[in-house]
Amino acid sequence: MPTHSSVYAVSGASVSSRAERSPGRPATEHDAPGAHSPFSLAIHGGAGALSPSRLNGQLEAAYRAGLAAALTAGYRLLVAGGSAVDAVTQAVVVLEDNPLFNAGRGAVFTSAGEVQLDAAVMNGLDRCAGAVAAVVGPRNPVLAARAVLELSDAVLLVGEGALSFCRAHGIALEDPRYFYTEQRWEALQRELHRRRHGGRDDRDDADRHGTVGAVARDVRGNLAAATSTGGITAKAPGRVGDTPVFGAGTWAENGTCAVSATGTGEVFIRLGAAHEIAARMRIGGQPLAQAAADVVAELQVAGGDGGLIAVDAAGAVVMPFNCQGMYRGQIGADGVPRAAIYREQLTVVNGA
């Protein structure tokens, strides 16, 4: 697996490819198109990007189309005056339904050959939040998390308790066969074989982790974030990462920012990464671009690879990451979806 010694920081849609910078110092660009849009939406499909050698033109087009579909779904709500919470939820639903991404239908398997799902939704207006973790069965875990936010006194429900809640509130459930994808099953078999034989862990990012997420600012200035994941290939049953841990992998707070993260969950939890960005803005007066890039650099120093998307109170978006690539996209009031995978500039998705 390649070693990445710098953070790639994307502000809006205008950042072009950069050469590697010195460790911990991000490439940053400001005044991106749409940075002060009446509304904005950004999504990620995980820091688990396939290595360039495995991503042919047809597959790249499929990933970009999947990102564009999610952006368009959220945009339709925002342009009609819908809420940021509705937009991020709908964008994540679209990503969960796409087997290319590690969430919902395309989730990875645990070491026991089961799919256990985590998801979270947070409203920046009042910091209301809902999450589910280690739950088996919901077609769209983000809808289960949204139901926890709206219909439960709890913030986080796990396992059988989360599943009972889904049944009680009409959340659509699926048979395990729905979540079976050949690529995820083969990845599990490769990893189990490696562990049995004591082989070196040389998996690329795509086999290590992956997540989907969305952040938005709506026309009323409210922020929201949603994140969903199947976790890590061959994870221990019951293992929960940063996605449903508010302040680690998901955060939304009007006046500062909304954040959705992807990467080495345990490190994001230990550093309280998402909340740390908001705190640096609120207490330290830092702009979003600086706070987000610095936190992602610190994650790398602590042994965590990955990235995040974030939007501030003005609608400016940043997308820093410290790994090989991160599926990501953005859309604003112009209604044009833009996407990228590695360290290239966000570009318009053809045919979207």
Residues classed as catalytic = 211
Please list, in sequence order, all residues whose beta carbon lies within 8 angstroms of the beta carbon of residue 179, skipping any fewer than 6 positions away: 104, 105, 107, 115
Specify which residues 157 forms β-bridges with: 132
Cα→Cα distances 199→59, 111, 150, 190, 194, Å: 29, 16, 46, 11, 5
Separation CA 330–CA 74 (nearest Å): 10
What's the N-to-C CA distance of the chain in angstroms? Answer: 33
Classify residue 346 by its DSSP letter. P
d(CA 40, CA 349): 17
CA atoms of 293 and 312, how far apart (whole Å): 14
**Closest Cα partner for 103 from 113, 111, 91, 85?**
91
Q: What is the dihedral of CA 260, 264, 266, 269, to 10 degrees?
A: -30
* 267 half-sphere exposure, CB direction, 13 A CA radius: 17
Token pair 């499929």 is found at: 62
Report the relative pairing of strands 327-331 and 338-340 from DSSP bridges: antiparallel
What's the CA dihedral at 28, 33, 37, 41 to 10 degrees? -70
Q: What is the DSSP letter of 105?
A: G
Strands (E), the chain: 40-46, 117-123, 129-135, 156-158, 212-217, 223-229, 250-253, 257-263, 306-312, 317-318, 327-331, 338-340, 347-348
129-135 and 156-158 beta bridge pairing:
parallel
